[in-house]
Amino acid sequence: MSDDAAPIRELARAKVNLTLHVTGRRPDGLHMLDSLVVFPRVGDLIEVEPSRHLSLTLDGPFGAFLSGQGDNLVLRAARMLDDARGAAIRLGKVLPVASGIGGGSADAAATLRALARLWQVELGEAAHYVSLGADVPVCLGSTPARMRGVGEWIGPVPVLPPLWCVLVNPGVQVATAQVFGRLDAVHNPPMDLPERFGGFEAFTDWLSAERNDLEPPALTLAPVIGEVLEALSTTSRFARMSGSGATCVALYPDEGAALTAAERIRKARSDWWCVAAPVA
Catalytic residue set: 15, 135
Tell how many helices (H) and how many strands (E) occur in the chain. 8, 13
For 123, counting Cβ atoms within 10 Å of its Cβ (0-12 exposed, 13-18 middle, 19+ buried), the class is middle
Q: Mapping DSSP to helix (H, G, I), strand (E, B) and coil, where does residue 71 land?
A: coil
List C-alpha distances in Å: 176 to 63, 73, 243: 21, 16, 9
Spatial separation of the C-alpha atoms in residues 3 and 50, rounded to whole Å: 7
Query: At 183, which amino acid appears?
Result: L
How many C-beta atoms surround the C-beta of residue 120 within 10 A? 8
Burial tier of 70 (Cβ tally within 10 Å: 0-12, 13-18, 19+)? exposed
Query: Contact, 173 vs 225, CB < 8 A?
Result: no
